[in-house]
Structure 1
Amino acid sequence: MHPIFQTEPTPSATPILFVTKSSWDAVRADLPEAAQRFATASGYSGKPGQFLALPTSDGEIGHVLFGLDEPDAKGHDPFRAGALPGLLPAGVYRFANAPHDVRLAALAFALGAYKFGRYRKAEPPAVRLVPPDSVDAAAISRTAEAAALARDLINTPSNDMGPAELADAVDALATRFGASINVIVGDELATQNFPLIRAVGMASTRAPRLIDLTWGDPSHPKVTLVGKGVCFDTGGLDLKPSSAMLIMKKDMGGAANVLALASMIMDAGLKLRLRVLIPAVENSVAGNAMRPLDIFPSRKGPTVEIGNTDAEGRLVLADALAYADEEAPDLLIDLGTLTGAARVALGPDLPPYYTNDETLALDVARHARAENDPLWRMPLWGPYDSWLDSKIANINNAPSGGFAGSITCALFLQRFVEAAKSWLHVDIYGWTPKAKPSRPEGGECQAARAIFALLSERYG
């Protein structure tokens, strides 16, 4: 159980009253008279995020008031309650009335308690929440702990989170859930036909690798997750400016979120055969780095011309997707921090997803809304596929022109998926640039919660 939850009976837990501006008068009328006067004197109005602790006559906290958005507000945030762990004094609390969505509010509370404390002491909030009766506290704990795993991996700087350390994190997860793991390292990538993964990572002193985890009954439906594990991206010889490199430790966010999703799947014991593939590399600059207009073979066979060395994520995913596709999984999903174009189009909070499976597309959208894990479908627009053509190779990894960058990346990856019964590609950001309730600045768990809900519905 997540440590934020108070599992022992606590009759004295302090009540939290959720308020909107429209409901404030009714809530105030039910308070003790002294509490009403204190709230009025404090100027409390129930605006979103407004917090007030109401004292009793003996100086204890009798009630906590917390403002929510109106349910139909344009900026309605179901995770508003995630601000509470950072506002409440030490103690045990309970929801005295129902927020708009009790389950999401309890999850937000758990997510809002996250602190990254590897390098500087960061004590978790000394608050506990009595889980509301209507929610599955174990399921919420599973989700919050998986999100913390993704955040921890992304927040860890690259000097302590290279390809080897990422493999160690996968190994620890495999050990915890009894999964098997195999890792192909360095020159073995060439021997075993992963030329694009090797090409991206060969300039680093830290050897590239392909991490392969399997779990579950082989007779169950095959679900394969592929996560981009670029542990740091300089851009290669097409070097990024320093401002763009500042958060490139997050470029393994696809791998981190795939591991969060895998953790939830294994912890819940879903009835599927899980496989996780993570190409873990560092895109560095050295005399042996891949160069613009170099041409490499791919595992699948087509040759790839390097239009830009900073479009490296799709290269490592191409080999991994081709490998995954060889066993024709029932569902193949890849996550990666891939394009700035996706951020220009949809911003940091709304990752685009791509699939030609209409049922899958609708299911993803439905669960994204229900889980407050926003995703937005974008098209695999066939007429743009010719933009990937090369004059001297089968395909170019980064077509010139600058248009539709997220779409052309998805179309590039689609060329390496043929046998899978269904394929989903998600172009995540993996980072919260400005703190919001339950989402501190830094590494973020994106898409994993929505996809887990979908998988639970299908294979629970």
Structure 2
Amino acid sequence: MHSAFEAAPATPAIPITFATKSTWDAIAADLPSPARQFATANGFAAKPGAWLALPDADGKIAQVIFGLDSEGGKFRDPFRPGQLPGLLPPGVYRFANVARDQAHLATLAFALGCYRFGRYRKSEPPDVRLVPPDGVDIADIARMANAAALARDLINTPSNDIGPEELAQAAQKLAQDFGAKFTCIVGEDLTRQNFPLINAVGMASSRAPRLVDFTWGDPSHPKVTLVGKGVCFDTGGLDLKPSSSMLIMKKDMGGAANVLALAQMVMDAKLKVRLRVLIPAVENAVAGNAFRPLDVFTSRKGLTVEIGNTDAEGRLVLADALALADEEKPDLLIDLGTLTGAARVALGPDLPPFYTNDETLAGTLSTCAKQEHDPLWRLPLWPAYDSWLDSKVADVNNAPSGGFAGSITCALFLQRFVEAAKSWLHVDIYGWTPSAKPGRPEGGECQAARAIYRLLSDRYGH
């Protein structure tokens, strides 16, 4: 169980009563007169995120009142209870009046709000625990919270401490924890084993590129393959990023981090899949042997790729990994990557676009994303834009000029490397929370993994 939860406390848990502006008067009327007067004296009005500890006759906390977003407002954040761990005094608490349909997300938000990144300075998780509400699947919620912590830890760790080798080691540890079969192709072996695009992107770094590959589960079960972009730092290569754009490029392995989080959930839940995880782990550095604009490489699939821009490197490493995954004809092939600024311009940091031609998959994923408050928005694999990838000297250009529809053209580029998979899903995540929100501290974020896990759990968990 996640450390945020306590199933059987030694002393009675302190009740947390949720209130909105519209329900506060009725809640206040039911309070003992001294507690009601105390709330009035403190000016409590059940504003979203406001809280008040009501004392008993001995001065101890009798209950906590916490303000939620009003029903029917322009935006109601179901993760509002994620603020509680950062507000409450140490102790064991319970939700006194959480609505049945809100209990899952409120409990998950509480767990996610306990996360702290403490690798470089002391930052202990809050000493607060929650007695889970009746009827929630606490094992599933703990699974999601632990996976989110894994993704956040990996993304938040700076690149001097997590390069391609360390990312591969994190994947290997996860594989070993669940008895998965792990292999890793390193450096020049990538060229010898026909992964030229992965090697091209990573060869300028003193930290050798590599391809992580691990498998888990019964080979007779449906094949689900996850591919995650593992660019541990992205300078942009010779098409160098401005310094302002490099400031959070430690997060450019966010696709890999979230694939590992998703894989952890799948394996921990023992879903009935034959899971394969592929992570091309590289650093896009600048050196004399860096790949150049207008270079042409023959990909694993055999397509020749002209380099329109060295800062469109994520799609290159994913292309070789997707080609490998596709050779096995998986039932479901999923890739995650922090790929385009265009996706952020279109949809902002909190709403990653996803792409698929599988209508059933698209509808189900949208439902799961809403259910888990892990927002996703479908964008089209618009065929008319495919010609924008044309090259005069090669089969395809990795970064068409013009600047239009950058996330869509990236997806169309990747689609060229997927033919045999029965179904394919591509998600262009951000992997970062720019400013803190309830349950989501500023920094690395677990995006899309919970929604996809819910889809896989519903499909393969029985």
Do the structures match in fold with TM over 0.5?
yes
The aligned residue for residue 132 of structure 1 is 133
Cα separation, 2, equivalents of 1:71 and 1:37: 26
Distance 2:108 2:30 in 1: 27
Which residue number corresponds to residue 417 of structure 2? Answer: 416
Counterparts of 1:311-326 in structure 2, within 5 Å, are 311-326=312-327
- The within-5 A match list for 1:8-407 is 8-99=8-99, 101-407=102-408
Report the secondary structure of 1:104's partner residue: helix
Paired residue secondary structure (1:101) = helix
Aligned residues: 460
**Alpha-carbon separation, structure 2, partners of 1:23 and 1:101:** 16
Give, in angstroms, the shift of residue 31 of structure 1. Answer: 1.1
| Partner SS state of residue 277, structure 2 | strand
| Cα distance in 2 for residues equivalent to 1:66 and 1:80 | 9
Give, in whole Å, the separation in 1 of the partners of 2:259 and 2:84.
Answer: 28
Q: Deviations over 1:191-247 (max 9, x none)?
A: 000000000000000000000010000000000000000000000000000110000
Q: CA deviation at 1:11?
A: 5.0
User: How many angstroms does 1:71 deviate by?
Assistant: 2.6
Distance 2:74 2:410 in 1: 32
Which secondary structure does the structure 2 equivalent of 1:435 belong to?
A: coil
In structure 2, C-alpha distance between the alignment counterparts of 1:235 and 1:433, rounded to whole Å = 21
Moved more, 28-37 or 199-208: 28-37
- Which residue of the partner structure matches residue 437 of structure 1? 438
- Paired with 1:30 and 1:264, the residues of 2 have a C-alpha distance of 42
**Residues of 1 paired with 2:257 and 2:218: CA distance?**
24
CA distance in 1: counterparts of 2:190 and 2:12, whole angstroms: 60
Q: CA deviation at 1:265?
A: 0.2
Deviation at 1:9, TM superposition (A): 3.9
Moved over 4 A (4+): none
The amino acid of 1:452's aligned partner reads Y
In structure 2, what is the Cα distance between the partners aligned to 1:324 and 1:231? Answer: 21
Q: Secondary structure at the match of 1:316?
A: helix
**Alpha-carbon distance between aligned partners in 2 of 1:343 and 1:82, rounded to the nearest angstrom:** 25
Cα distance in 2 between the residues matched to 1:305 and 1:71: 53
Match of residue 453 from structure 2: 452
The letter for the 2-side match of 1:79 is F
Contact 2:217 2:274 survives alignment (8 Å): yes
**Counterpart-to-counterpart distance in 2, 1:11 and 1:73:** 37
Measure, in 1, the Cα distance between the counterparts of 2:244 and 2:34: 54
The DSSP-based 3-state class of the residue aligned with 1:170 is helix
1:72, 1:304 → 2: CA distance? 51
Q: Could you list the per-position Cα deviations for residues 1-45 of structure 1 after superposition, in whole angstroms to 9, with x for gaps in the alignment?
A: 101101224452110000011010111111111110011111111
Distance 2:115 2:292 in 1: 41
Mean Cα deviation higher: 356-365 or 7-16: 7-16
Question: What TM-score do the two structures reach when normalised by structure 2?
Answer: 0.99
Cα distance in 2, alignment partners of residues 342 and 213 from structure 1? 30
Shift of 1:47: 1.3
TM value normalised by structure 1: 0.99
Structure 2: runs of 5+ lacking an equivalent = none
- 3-state DSSP of counterpart to 2:16: strand
Residue 89 of structure 2 aligns to a residue in which SS?
coil
Range 27-36 or range 98-107, more displaced = 98-107
Deviation string 1:326-365 (CA, Å, 9 cap, x unpaired) is: 0100000000000000000000000000000000000010
Shift in Å, 1:73? 1.6
The alignment partner of 2:28 has SS state of helix
The 2-side partners of 1:94 and 1:241 are apart by 48
Q: Secondary structure at the match of 2:161?
A: coil
Letter in 1 for 2:62: G
For 1:139 and 1:352, the matched residues in 2 are separated by 25
Q: Contact between 2:9 and 2:92, CA under 8 Å: does it hold in 1?
A: no
**Structure 1 vs Structure 2 CA RMSD:** 0.7
Residue type of the partner of 1:64?
A: V
Q: Secondary structure at the match of 2:336?
A: strand
For residues 269 and 72 of structure 1, the distance between their equivalents in structure 2, rounded to whole angstroms, comes to 38
Residues 396-441 of structure 1 deviation map (CA, whole Å, 9 limit, x = unaligned): 0000000000000000000000000000000000000000000000
Deviates more, 1:316-325 or 1:57-66: 57-66
Q: 2:219 is paired with a residue of what secondary structure?
A: coil
Could you tell me how far apart the structure 2 residues matched to 1:300 and 1:72 are? 51
Q: Percent same amino acid at aligned positions?
A: 76
Read off the aligned partner of 1:239 and give its amino acid letter.
Answer: L
Extract unaligned runs of 5+ from structure 1. none
- On the 8 A contact 2:293/2:310 being kept in 1, the answer is yes
How far apart are the structure 2 equivalents of 1:65 and 1:33? Answer: 15
**Structure 2: distance between partners of 1:249 and 1:25:** 48
Amino acid in the other structure paired with 2:95:
F
- Residue 90 of structure 2 aligns with an amino acid whose one-letter code is A
